[in-house]
């Protein structure tokens, strides 16, 4: 009798127990992806910077995995972010270069994106910070109404963004598609071709500027907060941001989102603006580094990351939150403003040992800081595996055990074991995008010949372009100094053919 009833109990309970165990085993960590804008491989002290200290990032590295060969897909912002969202190489689709502030949305709304993946897994999702992937369906849009599609339509339940870059109009925040603090009586118009409205421009009224633009870069259109921007803007005067407040505004919104989602797993894409131009940090950071406002902006960034870490710790969330920090492309000193980044470089090497920087096909263009902390699962350490931000989509799909529909995220590879430190076997190869394309394979790097200039005198950066093929042995020559192409013609030929195969075949990995 007893046996029978306990048997019955087991029959009823066993599936429940198994289901419960399965649910418990299913990892549902929160995920926060903090993305710096133009932060270089050498800008962080745990990556070797000596002229600036980044204690929060160093702590993150010491508590997690620090990757030494992690990449953005591209050496500029829009394409790297496109790849992060879609898991597709950006050069597969035209129109994925640096976008103006009035561009239409370029992320497809009918494909799996990184945030949609998390939505599918029952996560709450949010973006706070820089977007730069276009808004709406056309260049001409009514900024005074809800602008759609945008981040909310590609998978973010909540969005608090600025549209493009800090140096491009419209210089406003948008919350769930609507411009924040916009007064109907002062509607916004934006134009990148011709002047609109009566606001002074940097070109006409340089005496009104609190920071001069660098000659020939083009940051001399509408002046907002004493800074000339790219593009013209009319109206929305009370909605315009104050640059010194951008960072703390984003931080407050990110913290609000975390605070209000303590019971449901969440994915937060926290997209910082530092140290992109114009570098105009909060007053408390001005003059705090020895490197001018660029260094001060890095201190502000570091402090911001520290604030998030502290919040997670105080809320008891740190242990089961995957916190990733990376950057969308390599560093640049003069990117349009005379902000002392060049004159007060003080021996600081923003790309560390790497050649080139932002815009470049050399490693300085795409190799960026990348750290991942997940105390519950990941042992601290350093990983030399080749990984790319492109891989986050397939890797999180694996973590969440969600299959990807065929054709979605075509270039994303599941690097979960590598990201969690359980394997050292990273990508075998990766295409890197500067002004020209490069292929990294088994520790070698081939840069496709290009007739474009080898040096950009405006930014002072070597572009990686050369009319002849370049081949570097990265494992021995991280600084890409010795072009071995003539010594290894077979390898050059094989890698050129492979690059061509990958870039021709839209479905290939
Ligand atoms: C460039 C701008 C540069 C910066 C960059 C975008 C010029 C000469 N330079 O076109 O200042 O805004 O675009 O940077 O206009 S990114 O990090 O968002 O890609
Ligand atoms: Ca950038």
List, for residues 267-278, the tens digit of each pLDDT value: 999 999 999 999
Cis upstream peptide for 68 (omega within 30°):
no
266: CA distance to ligand 2 center in Å? 25
Reported as a single tens digit per residue, the pLDDT across 43-84 is: 999 999 999 999 999 999 999 999 999 999 999 999 999 999
The number of the ligand 1 atom at minimal distance from the alpha carbon of 38 is 17
Question: Do residues 411 and 429 touch, judged by C-beta distance below 8 A?
Answer: no
Q: How far apart are CA 181 and CA 311, in angstroms?
A: 28
Question: Do residues 169 and 229 touch, judged by C-beta distance below 8 A?
Answer: yes
CA-CA-CA-CA dihedral for 228, 42, 364, 276, to nearest 10: -20
Residue keyed to tokens 């919350």: 175
**Ligand index nearest the alpha carbon of residue 279:** 1
Quote the pLDDT of residue 430.
98
**Ligand index nearest the alpha carbon of residue 272:** 2
**Ligand 1: residue whose CA is nearest its atom 7:** 217
**Ligand index nearest the alpha carbon of residue 167:** 1
The number of the ligand 1 atom at minimal distance from the alpha carbon of 358 is 17
**Ligand 1: residue whose CA is nearest its atom 8:** 217
**Ligand 1: residue whose CA is nearest its atom 10:** 98
Give the residue-averaged pLDDT of 205-229.
97
Reported as a single tens digit per residue, the pLDDT across 129-167 is: 999 999 999 999 999 999 999 999 999 999 999 999 999
Please state, as a whole number, how many other Cβ atoms lie within 10 Å of the Cβ of residue 4: 8
- 432 — phi, psi (to 5°)? -110, 140
Give the residue-averaged pLDDT of 219-230.
98
**Ligand 1: residue whose CA is nearest its atom 16:** 77
3-state secondary structure of 231: coil
Q: How far apart are CA 195 and CA 99, in angstroms?
A: 19
What domains, with CATH codes, occur in the chain? 6-296+306-419 (3.40.720.10), 429-503 (3.30.1120.10)
Which of 163, 335, 359, 463 maximizes ligand 1 atoms within 8 Å of its Cβ, making it the mutation to test the pocket?
335
Q: How far apart are CA 253 and CA 126, in angstroms?
A: 10
Which residues are within 5 Å of ligand 2 (an ion), measured at CB?
37-38, 77, 328-329
Element (H, E) at 293: helix 292-314
What ranges in 172-280 are assigned the alpha helix state H?
243-259
Q: How far apart are CA 254 and CA 129, in angstroms?
A: 9
**Ligand index nearest the alpha carbon of residue 213:** 1
Reported as a single tens digit per residue, the pLDDT across 429-460 is: 999 999 999 999 999 999 999 999 999 999 99
132: CA distance to ligand 1 center in Å? 11
Quote the pLDDT of residue 383.
98
**Ligand 1: residue whose CA is nearest its atom 5:** 98
User: With bands split at pLDDT 50, 70 and 90, how would you rate the model's confidence at 17?
Assistant: very low
37: CA distance to ligand 2 center in Å? 4
Reported as a single tens digit per residue, the pLDDT across 84-108 is: 999 999 999 999 999 999 999 999 9
Written as one string, the DSSP assignment of 352-421 is TT-S--TT-SSHHHHB--EEEE-TTT---EEEEEEEEGGGHHHHHHHHTT-PPPTTSSTT----HHHHTT
Task: Reply yes or no on whether the pLDDT at 19 is more than 60.
Answer: no
Quote the pLDDT of residue 222.
98
Quote the pLDDT of residue 505.
59
Q: How far apart are CA 460 and CA 332, in angstroms?
A: 8
**Ligand 1: residue whose CA is nearest its atom 3:** 335
User: With bands split at pLDDT 50, 70 and 90, how would you rate the model's confidence at 24?
Assistant: very low
Mean pLDDT, the chain, rounded, equals 95
Q: How far apart are CA 509 and CA 507, in angstroms?
A: 7
Q: Could you tell me the pTM of the whole model?
A: 0.94
Task: Reply yes or no on whether the pLDDT at 6 is more than 60.
Answer: no
Q: How far apart are CA 153 and CA 380, in angstroms?
A: 36
119: CA distance to ligand 1 center in Å? 32
Residue keyed to tokens 């930014």: 459
Closest CA to 267 of 57, 34, 67: 34
Find the residues whose C-beta lies inside 6 A of ligand 1.
37-38, 76-77, 98, 132, 165, 167, 217-218, 230, 276-277, 329, 335-336
Please give the structure tokens belonging to residue 503: 């870039």
Q: How far apart are CA 404 and CA 399, in angstroms?
A: 12
Strand partners for 418: none
**Ligand index nearest the alpha carbon of residue 101:** 1
Question: Do residues 171 and 249 touch, judged by C-beta distance below 8 A?
Answer: no
């Amino acid at each position: 009798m007893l046996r029978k009833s306990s048997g019955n109990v087991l029959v009823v309970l066993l599936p429940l127990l198994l289901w419960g165990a399965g649910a418990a085993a299913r990892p549902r960590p929160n995920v926060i992806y903090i993305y710096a804008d133009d932060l270089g491989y050498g800008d962080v002290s745990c990556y070797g910077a000596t002229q600036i200290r980044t204690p929060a990032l160093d702590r993150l590295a010491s508590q997690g995995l620090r990757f030494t060969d992690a990449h953005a897909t591209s050496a500029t912002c829009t394409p790297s972010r496109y790849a992060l969202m879609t898991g597709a190489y950006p050069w597969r689709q035209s129109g994925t270069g640096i976008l103006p502030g009035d561009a239409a949305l370029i992320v497809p709304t009918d494909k799996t994106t990184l945030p949609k993946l998390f939505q599918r897994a029952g996560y709450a999702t949010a973006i706070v910070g820089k977007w730069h992937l276009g808004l709406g369906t056309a260049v001409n849009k009514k900024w005074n109404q809800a602008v759609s599609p945008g981040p909310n339509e590609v998978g973010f339940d909540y969005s608090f963004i600025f549209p493009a870059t800090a140096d491009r109009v419209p210089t406003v925040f948008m919350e769930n598609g609507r411009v924040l603090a916009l007064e109907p009586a002062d509607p916004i118009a934006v134009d990148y071709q011709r002047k609109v409205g009566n606001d002074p421009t940097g070109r006409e009224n340089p005496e009104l500027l609190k920071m001069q633009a660098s000659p020939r870069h083009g940051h001399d259109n509408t002046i907002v907060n004493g800074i000339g921007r790219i593009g013209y803007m009319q109206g929305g005067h009370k909605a315009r941001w104050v640059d010194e407040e951008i960072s703390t505004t984003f931080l407050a919104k990110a913290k609000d989102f975390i605070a209000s989602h303590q019971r449901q797993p969440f994915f937060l894409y926290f997209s910082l603006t530092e140290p992109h131009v114009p570098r105009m940090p909060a007053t408390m950071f001005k003059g705090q580094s020895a490197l001018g406002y660029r260094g001060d902006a890095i201190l502000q960034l570091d402090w911001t990351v520290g604030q998030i870490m502290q919040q997670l710790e105080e809320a008891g969330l740190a242990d089961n939150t995957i916190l990733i920090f990376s950057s969308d492309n390599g560093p640049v000193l003069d990117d349009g403003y005379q902000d002392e980044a060049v004159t007060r470089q003080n021996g600081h090497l923003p790309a560390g040992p790497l050649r080139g920087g932002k815009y470049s096909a050399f490693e300085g263009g795409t190799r960026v800081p990348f750290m991942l902390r997940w105390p519950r699962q990941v042992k601290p350490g350093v990983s030399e595996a080749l990984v790319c931000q492109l891989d986050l989509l397939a890797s999180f799909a694996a973590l969440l055990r969600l299959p990807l529909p065929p054709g979605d995220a075509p270039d994303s590879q599941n690097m979960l074991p590598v990201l969690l430190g359980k394997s050292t076997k990273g990508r075998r190869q990766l295409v890197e995008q500067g002004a020209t394309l490069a292929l990294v394979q088994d520790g070698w790097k081939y840069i496709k010949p290009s007739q474009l200039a080898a040096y950009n005198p405006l930014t002072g950066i070597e572009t990686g372009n050369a009319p002849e093929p370049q081949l570097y042995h990265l494992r021995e020559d991280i600084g890409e100094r010795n072009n071995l192409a003539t010594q290894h013609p077979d390898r050059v030929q094989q890698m050129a053919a492979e690059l061509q195969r990958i870039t021709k075949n839209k479905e290939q990995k």
